[in-house]
Homo-oligomer: A and B are copies of this chain.
């Protein structure tokens, strides 16, 4: 009789389990236009077919975070519908661009399980993959979430905690085929700074802010077919609609254009924490820290490893209090690799 899915609980997972996620999605110029309406996205490679062609691409790919959100959204009904918390990301790699016309689907493999000492919840590690219509991997990443048990008397599984890299090495990154920054037009891109102009440890205040509205984050989250009810139903949580963490990621990445206009394509996700929840009415600002700089084998293409912090209120460049915990105004602490002209 119950045709609806209540999602999976902790005891439903086992290490090695492969979950094919539902509802493949074809991307068009429509999704790209909405991405530009929802976020202050201005990176030229995603904005202009002509700019992308001058960089060796056949046309402008969609934003890498759009691919991430679409894949993430598909995993929600199977992975995080009963999640208490989204604990972390690791080893995220973009393997090839997504173009309008591509169809994405998603698959996750359970790679770790650990019941919590309270016996009521457990941590599930999955490696999720996004695949295109040619069954090529578009991106993959590891995510771990704390999930409720349906039956607290269900026996604990054997604990398996996967070994994860704290950060991808530059040599692990995949540079899109054909990418070539030797003829890069810094004027059209919007800023003159090339990779060698950035120094490890340098911090950048991205200055601009956006006060988040309910309608906007819901449009975004729905666009990725993310079904987590806390993002849509105002009656679920007394403190209000919880904004999808990915909305904060894209907003902060968009804001980071101002100072990082040439950090064109995201190719690696080393880690990330949604430090505090975000609600409508919060004004998001962002700052970045340069964590590493590297060359790649592609012509003119370097890689920059960045910490991207989103915050509401408070000062830039502060992250944790004396107790080592994130300050209450910090929303996001993301560690990623992007490609930048040398």
Chain A residues near B (Cβ < 8 Å) = 1, 3-5, 20, 22-26, 28-34, 36-40, 42-44, 47-51, 59-60, 77, 100-101, 103, 105, 133, 187-191, 193, 197-198, 202, 204-211, 213-216, 218-220, 222-223, 225, 227, 229, 232-236, 241, 258-261, 281, 283
B222 x A36 contact (CB < 8 A)? yes
Tell me the number of copies of this protein.
3
Rounded to whole angstroms, the CA-CA distance of A222 and B41 in the bound complex is 8
A219 x B187 contact (CB < 8 A)? no
Rounded to whole angstroms, the CA-CA distance of A220 and B32 in the bound complex is 14
B187 x A211 contact (CB < 8 A)? no
A22-B261 CB under 8 A given contacts A50-B133, A229-B208: yes
Main secondary structure of the interface of A (DSSP, over half): mixed
B36 x A24 contact (CB < 8 A)? no
Report B-chain residues with C-beta under 8 Å of the C-beta of A33.
Answer: 28, 30-31, 33-34, 223
Rounded to whole angstroms, the CA-CA distance of A229 and B235 in the bound complex is 29
Report B-chain residues with C-beta under 8 Å of the C-beta of A1.
Answer: 202
Smallest beta-carbon distance A117→chain B, Å: 31
Report B-chain residues with C-beta under 8 Å of the C-beta of A233.
Answer: 208-211, 283
A190-B22 CB under 8 A given contacts A103-B48, A260-B3: yes
